[in-house]
């Protein structure tokens, strides 16, 4: 059980610019709510932790002042960021639980207690863009820092440096010039373009089908792959690549294909293999645009992509390289032309209506996934400096998503030991054990 001790509002410790910040189309598509993640530290009792965190947070917000602002709606129906320095919410909490009570820290109702709560029924202008919770475990066993971050504010590529730099200031160090965020999002104010026949936006339509209540239930599980297991997967995926003159598949492509194939096999144990299946994921466009965006660009710089059409029978009956190639085709689709085409047409009436609904206090009704399709939504944070979030207690022993999703979804992250990969899988509860068996059996 987690008990809230106190809640604090932290603002920048110096005056900051208050001009409204233009948000790109990439900021306004998709999830309009907050993303919940948490770090766990093995740390002795630190009675000054809260005070040091608040002091350094007020300092980092001077550089990242949009984080202390609020969203608001313009007359055109778009969102913009009001840089009013209203602040970030920092919650102080304690729990009677120990690390053992959380097992491997897979997303669950228990891990959700380690992040703050946000009330979407209040006016959006009053909702903090970031909420943070410091939780002390029973007996001084350790600490957890849970974060809730508004997705329109920034993507994970932007927020990882924010947390890492916050940790650096907490340790008493100063930021280097290259660690200061680039805040001008008008670089993504691209001129209107018309989609050519070769540049089509991804199709992502759930297959509506009746499902029993048990089939709709989803749960989460954590799967760890050692570096040797990752290499074995890459070898399987690349079995024919060299002989056919194909560039070797990456670990992301191989792991994503493996997840897709195991999910397809698990589903077809209960149903037919004729169901269409797709994998959708977002690609960082910072280096894919011409000219490229600054690497320290702060905001959302993502383009959605999706694998070519196929059915689960094809994924299962063919070798791993078949699914891997489809993942690659989705990655290769994201060119400069594709990005410009997608961003110039994607913010249509449907999305503007969703934004308006959000501002009318109906945010809690938005982005509710339908669990009745055979698709997979994939997130990859491979290569991100997740474990550099050191607040003076050393590197975190765990980092992960806090909340469960009611759709088939996977998140691929580096493992805490730096040796391999950790996959968080959200899947049908009745099929999760079979998925686990297939996942490791294939290795």
Q: Residues 63, 151, 374, 398: which is the catalytic one? A: 151
Closest CA to 424 of 105, 113, 157: 105
Take residue 13 and report the two structure tokens written for it. Answer: 């410790």
Could you tell me which residues come within 8 angstroms of residue 429 by beta carbon, excluding any fewer than 6 positions away? 214, 217, 218, 219
Q: Which regions of 202-313 does DSSP assign to beta strands (E)? A: 218-225, 279-284, 302-306
Largest CA distance in the chain: 62
Catalytic residue at 390? Answer: yes
Take residue 384 and report the two structure tokens written for it. Answer: 């991100």
Name the strands in the sheet holding 70-73, side by side, starting at the edge strand that comes first in the sequence. 21-22, 79-82, 70-73
- Helix (H) / strand (E) element for 122: namely none
CB-CB contact of 119 with 33 (8 Å): no
Take residue 15 and report the two structure tokens written for it. Answer: 């005056």
User: Which one-letter DSSP state was computed for residue 276?
Assistant: B
Compute CA distances 317 → 212, 306, 367, 440, whole Å.
28, 21, 34, 18
CA 93 to centroid of chain Cα atoms: 24
Q: What is the DSSP string of 328-378?
A: HHHHHT--HHHHHHHHHHSS-HHHHHHHHHIIIIIGGGSS-----SS-EEE
Rounded CA-CA distance 253/324 in Å is 6
Dihedral of alpha carbons 331, 335, 337, 339, sign? positive
In angstroms, the first-to-last Cα distance of the chain is 38
- Residues with a catalytic annotation lie at 151, 390
């Amino acid at each position: 059980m987690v008990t809230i001790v106190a809640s604090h509002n932290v603002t920048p410790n110096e005056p900051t610019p208050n001009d409204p910040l233009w948000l790109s189309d990439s900021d306004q598509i998709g999830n309009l709510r907050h993303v919940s993640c948490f770090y766990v530290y093995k740390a002795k009792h630190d009675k000054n932790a809260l005070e040091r965190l608040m002091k350094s947070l007020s300092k980092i917000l001077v550089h990242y002042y949009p984080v202390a602002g609020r969203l608001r709606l313009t007359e055109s129906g778009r969102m913009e960021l009001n840089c009013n320095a209203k602040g970030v919410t920092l919650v102080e909490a304690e729990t009677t639980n120990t690390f053992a009570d959380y097992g491997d820290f897979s997303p669950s109702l228990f891990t959700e207690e380690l992040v703050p709560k946000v009330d979407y029924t209040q006016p959006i202008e009053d909702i903090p863009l970031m909420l943070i919770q410091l939780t002390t475990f029973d007996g001084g066993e350790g600490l957890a820092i849970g974060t809730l971050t508004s997705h329109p504010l920034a993507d994970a590529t932007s927020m990882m440096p924010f947390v890492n730099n916050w940790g650096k200031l907490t340790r008493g160090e100063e930021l280097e010039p290259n660690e200061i965020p680039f805040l001008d999002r008008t670089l993504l104010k691209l001129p209107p373009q018309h989609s050519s026949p070769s540049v089509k936006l991804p199709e992502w339509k759930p297959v509506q089908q009746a499902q029993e209540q048990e089939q709709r239930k989803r749960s989460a599980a954590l799967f760890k792959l050692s570096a040797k297991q990752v290499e074995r997967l890459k070898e399987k995926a690349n079995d024919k690549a060299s002989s056919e003159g194909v560039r070797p598949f990456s670990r992301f492509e191989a792991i994503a294909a493996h997840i897709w194939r195991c999910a397809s096999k698990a589903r077809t144990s209960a149903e037919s293999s004729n169901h269409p299946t797709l994998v959708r994921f977002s690609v960082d466009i910072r280096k894919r645009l011409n000219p490229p965006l600054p690497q320290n660009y702060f905001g959302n710089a993502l383009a959605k992509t999706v694998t070519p059409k196929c059915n689960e029978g094809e994924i299962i009956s063919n070798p791993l390289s078949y699914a891997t190639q489809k993942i690659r085709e989705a990655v290769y689709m994201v060119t400069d032309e594709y990005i410009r085409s997608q961003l110039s047409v994607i913010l249509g009436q449907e999305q503007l209506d969703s934004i308006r609904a959000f501002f009318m206090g109906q945010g809690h009704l938005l982005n509710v996934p339908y669990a009745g399709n055979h698709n997979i939504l994939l997130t990859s944070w491979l290569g991100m400096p997740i474990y550099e979030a050191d607040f003076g207690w050393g590197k975190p022993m765990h980092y992960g998503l806090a909340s469960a999703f009611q759709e088939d979804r996977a998140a691929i992250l580096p493992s805490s030991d730096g040796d391999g990969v950790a996959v968080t899988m959200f899947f049908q509860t009745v099929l999760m054990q079979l998925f686990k068996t297939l996942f490791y059996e294939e290795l």
